[in-house]
């Protein structure tokens, strides 16, 4: 929403059948981070320029109490037709409130 792009959600798998629980894919067809970017042709095969989106997702979802792991599966900059981010939901953040803030 903040980048001004639309994302499709697909490959939703609920429950323990995924590697870490609930999993789904986010398909980004117009990535604004890849508009004026070219990756070097040699020696940088493991460089993932759009991987920052995975960090943004992990950080923002942790702020609302979800533990997630994100991986960039496909990238337009590496010749794929779409950017795909795979999201693994591992659970919720444990609510650990200090003794001074607990209700009696």
Q: Is residue 65 part of a domain?
A: yes
Q: Is residue 102 part of a domain?
A: no
Q: Is residue 41 part of a domain?
A: no
Give the angle 8-51-86 at the CA atoms, nearest 5°.
Answer: 40
Residue 80 · residue 28 · CB < 8 Å: no
Output the six-digit token pair for 61. Answer: 């979802």
What's the pLDDT at 18? 46
- What CATH number did the domain enclosing 74 receive? 3.30.1380.20
Q: Is residue 98 part of a domain?
A: no
Q: What is the pLDDT of residues 46-102, one digit of tens each?
A: 677 788 889 988 998 888 888 889 998 988 777 788 889 999 988 887 766 666 666
pTM equals 0.74
Residue 61 lies in domain: 7-33+47-93
Nearest to 71 by CA among 36, 23, 30, 14: 23
Q: Is residue 1 part of a domain?
A: no
Number of structural domains (the chain) is: 1
């Amino acid at each position: 929403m903040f980048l001004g792009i639309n994302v499709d959600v697909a490959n939703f798998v609920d429950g323990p059948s995924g590697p870490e629980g609930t999993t789904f894919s986010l398909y980004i067809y117009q990535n604004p981070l890849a508009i004026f970017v070219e990756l070097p042709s040699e020696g940088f095969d493991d460089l993932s320029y759009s991987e920052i989106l995975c960090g943004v997702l992990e950080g923002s979802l942790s702020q609302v109490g979800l533990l997630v792991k994100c991986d960039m599966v496909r990238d337009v900059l590496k010749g794929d037709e779409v950017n795909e981010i795979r999201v693994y939901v591992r659970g919720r953040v444990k609510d650990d409130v200090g003794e001074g803030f607990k209700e009696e």
